[in-house]
Structure 1
Amino acid sequence: MSKHNTIKWALGKSWHQLHPNVQRRFNRLPSEKQPIIYKGMMEHIECSRSGWLFATLTKVIGNPLSPHQGIDIPMTVQLTTRTGKKGVYWKRTYHFPDRKSFSVTSVKKDDEGRMMECVGGGFGMFLDVYALNSELHFKSSRYFWQFFRWYLPLPHWLSPGETHVIHEDLAHSHGKGKFRFSITMKHPILGITFYQTGIFEETQL
């Protein structure tokens, strides 16, 4: 099984356009015994009414979307790999006050040269990965449902919207090791369904 760095491979020559701190952050692979852990504070977690409905309906495939909202919500992100499985698993755990911790798990991997992020039930999205203004960007191009080895495209209107994730280094303003993680989902008809942004840094178990 290939253990290459999927993100670095997907960027190709554009890898060198990333901020050096972003390169260092992603120029390694976690393992089951040595996961990579980030902790931080989600300054804003927002979802529209239609976003809440998408989050509620997708509970059956493993809670890929948070139905809750809040300001300054502590969050932990754990990156790891699994024996015999492709890709890097991202587990994001939200610690909302007066609620049970809420976790979202997905896996980023490539298949025949296509970068994708998958959740439960065979659902996922193909991703365009690029560098812009020294930041790392992930943008969804199509949602799909995997049936054996086939990826069946889903209509855009059936998805929560185009997903755009930005990883921005903040060493210049918040100190060494800090970065901003932002995610926006924009539906072609319903507008912005989800928006989250916060500041994180690497930590130990």
Structure 2
Amino acid sequence: MTSARLPGTSASTSAHTKLLDDRRFHVLLPDEDWGRLPLATWRRFSKRVADGDSVVYVGVVDEVSFSEIGWWFAQAVRMIGGPLPTGRDIGVPMIVTVTEDAATGGQTWTRICARKRGFPQVIHSAKRFAGPTGLEEYVGFGISMALRIAVEGETLTFRSAGYGLQLGRLWLPLPQWLTPGDLAVTHRDLGAGAFRFTLDVIHPRYGALIHQSALFRETVS
């Protein structure tokens, strides 16, 4: 399991240098909270590359579970690009690519999750430093999710703070019955270059819908 940087085809060698001065996530948190993060987590979320360059993390999915409603919901949202995991396979590779997007001032995240049979599932989304909370995740088809970040213990947590439909300059909140409920993503450093990513979707009425966990290990920082 590794992490690496993939340069864009037109960038110069000096432009490929990873800069640990990206404060876009930092400014969304009080300095005291940011300071509680492990150094390795701080480095990952302060790393900025040239426009079009990517940082790639490779890991293994070790936990997946769905309620019956959660599984059907994950299949249904394939109509808007499939932003949620759809398979139950564990022990399969997961690749996460973070690409700088100068046009929006944000990042494009691509998650590739292998399957034991058939082609991998590919999930695209864009993290934009905009919206009511200063951070949103855009999944396509005009649909985005506002996010609030926090430090819980030494874990960096991203929690949904409302879903909306973008129509030109208007952002229209989606009614609760059209949303999966509360979504939480965590990034927990495990030391020695390893970290754990988790995704949980919990509905206020139907409870836990989806859980996914993957273990990553860095060999290039």
| 8 Å Cα contact 1:117-1:126 kept in structure 2 | yes
2:128 aligned to 109, 122, 132, which one? 109
Matched, 1:37 2:53: no
The structural deviation recorded for 1:33 is: 4.7
Question: Of residues 133, 157, 161 in structure 1, which corresponds to 2:153?
Answer: 133
Stretches of structure 2 that go unaligned for 5 or more consecutive residues are 1-20
1:163 Cα deviation (Å)?
A: 0.6
The residue correspondences of 1:38-53 to structure 2 (distance < 5 A) are 38-53=57-72
Q: CA deviation at 1:66?
A: 2.0
| TM-score normalised per structure 1 | 0.89
Within the alignment, does 1:181 sit opposite 2:197 as a pair?
yes
State the partner residue of 1:144: 164
Q: Is the 8 A contact 1:168 1:180 kept in 2?
A: yes
**2:52–2:100 contact (8 Å) kept in structure 1:** no
Q: CA deviation at 1:182?
A: 0.7
1:8 maps to 26
> What's the % identity of the aligned pairs?
31
Q: Secondary structure at the match of 1:100?
A: coil
CA positional deviation for 1:31: 3.9
1:118 is the counterpart of 2:133: no
Structure 2 residue 214 is the aligned partner of structure 1 residue 198? yes
After superposing the two structures, state which structure 1 stretch, 116-125 or 26-35, moved more: 26-35
Moved more, 70-79 or 31-40: 31-40
Task: Tell me, in whole angstroms, the C-alpha distance in 2 between the residues paired with 1:53 and 1:96.
Answer: 18
Q: Secondary structure at the match of 2:70?
A: helix
Identify the residue that residue 168 of structure 1 maps to in structure 2.
Answer: 188
* Structure richer in helix, relative to its length: 1
Larger radius of gyration: 2
Shift of 1:4: 5.4
8 A contact 2:143–2:164 mirrored in 1: yes
Work out whether residues 112 and 123 of structure 2, in 8 Å CA contact, stay in contact via their aligned partners in 1: yes
- CA displacement, residues 77-104 of structure 1 (integer Å, 9 cap, x when unaligned): 0000234233111111001111201111
Contact 2:104-2:128 within 8 A present in 1 as well: no
Q: How many residues align?
A: 198
What secondary structure is seen at the aligned counterpart in 2 of 1:141? Answer: strand
2:106 equivalent in structure 1: 87
CA offsets 1:103-145 (integer angstroms, 9 cap, x no match) = 1111111225621111010111111101121110101011111
How many Å separate the matches in 2 of 1:119 and 1:150?
A: 17
Q: Is the 8 A contact 2:189 2:195 kept in 1?
A: yes
Deviations 1:27-66 (CA, angstroms, capped at 9, x unpaired) = 1123455311111111012222222222222222211112
Alpha-carbon distance in 1 for matches of 2:53, 2:140: 24
The question of whether the paired residues in 1 share the 8 Å contact of 2:61 and 2:213 is answered with: yes
Tell me which residue corresponds to 2:41: 22
Aligned-partner Cα distance in 2 for 1:97–1:203: 26
